Amino acid sequence: MKRQGRAALFDVDGTLADTNHLHVVTWWEAFRQAGHDVTMHDIHHAVGLGSDDLIAHLLGEDRDKDQDEQLSAAHTALYGTYFARLPALPGASALLHTLHDRGWRIVLATSAGGPELTALRRAIDADDVIAGIASADDVEAGKPAPDPVHQALEIAEVEPQNAVFVGDTVWDMQAGARAGVHTVALLSGGIPRADLEEAGAAAVYDHPADLLRQLDDSVVARMEKSTEARTE
């Protein structure tokens, strides 16, 4: 039985935390150490995929898969050196708190887990309004499959039409579209607007603070009016 109300589902890296380029550099170094020449441009466009999918996307299915665990571990170790100083994006905490105050149930949908997720939550500083987290450990397939968004919907206990998913990559937009939720993209992850719109973004904003400034003219406000009308 789904509850009445609305849910705002959020990706984290590149959407609430300014971390995409840290992932690019640390993945680049992990690949370099393993003898692979992968461009930062290609890595950037793969960020947002889970580790296994990212490696497969960049190295192909005919790669030496015995290296996958080593590559993932190297990236984790390199990226882990930044855990104590991961930066939130402008307006991230304020956006989550404002949505919560407006009656939205906040759920994160991320491929991060363990100490990385702890560091990201510390950076975002909004644990008091986050109702739950759908992580890569909770689903069989990561983005662009809809599984993470479906899991976030289960946590929020709302129907897809009553949820908005905010992300920064084409993988986020594809996952949200396949799950049947409203999709909003942010440019803060460095992906071009046209790519995000082609992947299914209904609206695009610069960063969390930009979405917060325009909240009353956004899909968020339209959904609020729609759900309020249905309950009258």
Is the whole-model pTM more than 0.75? yes
* CB-based contact 13:48 (threshold 8 Å): yes
* Measured CA angle at 221 (ends 220, 224), to 5 deg: 90
Going by C-alpha positions, the residue among 139, 140, 27, 132 that lies closest to residue 76 is 27
Query: pLDDT tier at 2 (50, 70, 90 boundaries)?
Result: low
- pLDDT confidence of residue 59: 97
The domains of the chain, with CATH numbers, are: 6-18+86-231 (3.40.50.1000), 20-81 (1.10.150)
Residue 142 burial by Cβ neighbours in a 10 Å radius (0-12, 13-18, 19+):
buried
CA-based radius of gyration for the chain: 17
Strands 6-10, 130-135: pairing kind: unpaired
CA-based nearest residue to 89, from 16, 165, 9: 16
Q: For the packed helices 147-156 and 170-179, what is the interaxial angle rounded to 10 degrees?
A: 60
Which pLDDT value is given to residue 136? 72
Kindly state the tokens that stand for 6: 């609305």
Which residues, 6+ apart, have CB-to-CB distance to 126 below 8 Å?
Answer: 92, 93, 96, 97, 106
Both structure tokens of 207: 């960063």
Structure confidence at residue 227 (pLDDT): 66
- Using one digit for the tens of pLDDT, what is the confidence trace for 35-70? 999 999 999 999 999 999 999 999 999 999 999 999
What's the pLDDT band for 22 if we cut at 50, 70, 90? Answer: very high
What pLDDT does 68 receive?
96
Q: Decide: 185 and 68 in contact? Cβ < 8 Å.
A: no
Q: What is the spatial distance between Cα 176 and Cα 136, in angstroms, rounded to a whole number? A: 15
Q: What is the pLDDT of residues 94-144, one digit of tens each?
A: 999 999 999 999 999 998 889 999 999 999 999 999 999 998 777 777 899
Q: What is the pLDDT of residues 165-222, one digit of tens each?
A: 999 999 999 999 999 999 999 999 999 999 999 999 999 999 999 999 999 999 999 9
- pLDDT value of residue 173: 97
DSSP 28: H
What is the model's pLDDT at position 1?
46
Percent of the chain exceeding pLDDT 90 equals 88
